[in-house]
Chain A
Amino acid sequence: MQQWNLFSAFFRVGMLGYGGGPSSIPLVHKEVVEKYKWLSDDDFGDILALGNSLPGPIATKMAGYIGYRVSGVIGMMNAVLATILPTIIIMIVLITSLNNLRDQPWVAGMTQAVVPVVGVMLAKLTYDFFKKAKIQLGWIVTILIGTASLLLIEWAGVHPGIIIFALLLYALVRPMRRKETTPINQQEQSS
């Protein structure tokens, strides 16, 4: 029964979580705090704060951890699968059927038309990330890190993961100044 509740709670989160992570956070809250009362409000807030400071998609981190709290490793796997499996299956079916029609001219047209639209979405994300970076770091640091990583990735062929790791490491070991500006509390974009 508990496993079934876990599955149905996170199945709903996965299927209704449109528009990425932030949209699924209130859904998770609704299921685990309000409906099933597995967690208190404070617990939920703590899990969210920590989830936001770790890499990887937020929805699956929350599902996995809450599943684990409710009923161990089985619960963890159950909740994660309920969150992601339905949409993966839909996607495989959709794209596979599209692939079988690949030689049709109208399918080729569809493929062409969608590329710039996705480009616009990516450009919007680019802008969002820069804007957030500017708020937190200021123009100078943002442009410095941005330019340096552009040169390293495009001209020196450095793997982006290495640059990201180096920055994470620096954040961990750098000497802290006494006066820290407190960043505005904000939800990370994750999906």
Chain B
Amino acid sequence: MNLWKIFIAFFIPGIVGYGGGPASIPLVENEVVDRFHWMNVSEFSEMLAMANALPGPIATKMAGFIGYQQGGILGSFVGVIATVGPSLLLMIVLLSLLYKFKDSPRVKTMTNLIRPVIAILLGIMAFQFFYNSYDTAGWMQTAGLILVSFLLLEKVKLHPAFVILGSLIYGAVFLS
């Protein structure tokens, strides 16, 4: 049952995606690429690039799009609901309850402890992307693109949307 799979694929990142959008990227990848094989790494990275270039929350953009790909409009809804539903319900239920504990070191510790795990997950993904690029475009192109995009993103502080657009144009002209 595809809708059920879509629900599971986004319910898990929605529940364990602690520390916001970027944290859920590798979790979504884990479900969509490794577990359900709906996409390969390069399709996923293409989608991520597109999603990054558009406004709005990243997790719901991914859920909405992949859900649509796998199960049409209904699939899109299921993906989005699985992503936002659990945390939203929790929020409404817990708000009264957690008010008392909002400065509790326990709650802060939760966020702190899982940060290294998320970092590792993101690191593994970055490695996969670089490796995939080396595999298809060769190491010269890969190194060049890494260097230039790093400088533009981090030193020039150019908006990611422009960097992605630039790389798309570069690819269309020089890598075809």
Contact = CB atoms under 8 A, between A and B. Distances in A.
Interface residues of A, number: 99
Contacts of A94: 50
A119 to B, nearest CB: 3
Quick one: which of B87, B116, B120, B122 has the most chain A CB within 10 A?
A: B116
A159 B60 CA distance: 21
A15 B55 contact: yes
A68 B160 CA distance: 33
Interface in B139-170: 141-142, 145-146, 149-150, 153-154, 159-161, 163-164, 167-170
Contacts of B107: 53
Contact of A88 (B45, B60, B117, B123): B60
Nearest to A151: B120
A142 B120 CA distance: 10
Tell me whether chain B's interface is mostly helix, strand or loop, or mixed: helix
Contacts of B33: none
A156 interface: no
Interface in A77-121: 80, 83-88, 90-92, 94-95, 98, 104-121
Contacts of A88: 56, 60-61, 64-65, 68, 76, 80
B5 to A, nearest CB: 15
Interface string B31-58: 0000000000010011111111011111
A123 B58 CA distance: 17
A55 B58 contact: no
Quick one: which of A50, A76, A88, A109 has the most chain B CB within 10 A?
A: A88
Contacts, number: 355
Nearest to A56: B87
Given A76-B88, A92-B65, A145-B113, A17 B137 contact: no
A58 B175 contact: no
B99 interface: yes
Given A16-B55, A90-B54, A189 B22 contact: yes
7 contacts: A19-B159, A60-B83, A116-B137, A119-B45, A129-B116, A164-B16, A171-B110
Interface of B: 12, 14-27, 30, 42, 45-52, 54-61, 64-65, 68, 76, 80, 83-84, 86-88, 90-92, 94-95, 98-99, 102, 105-126, 129-130, 132-133, 136-137, 141-142, 145-146, 149-150, 153-154, 159-161, 163-164, 167-176
The 5 closest A-B pairs by CB, nearest first: A190-B20, A113-B171, A56-B87, A191-B21, A88-B64
Interface of A: 14-21, 24, 46-47, 49-61, 64-65, 68, 76, 80, 83-88, 90-92, 94-95, 98, 104-126, 129-130, 132-133, 136-137, 141-143, 145-146, 149-150, 153-154, 159-161, 163-165, 167-168, 170-172, 174, 176, 180, 182-183, 188-191
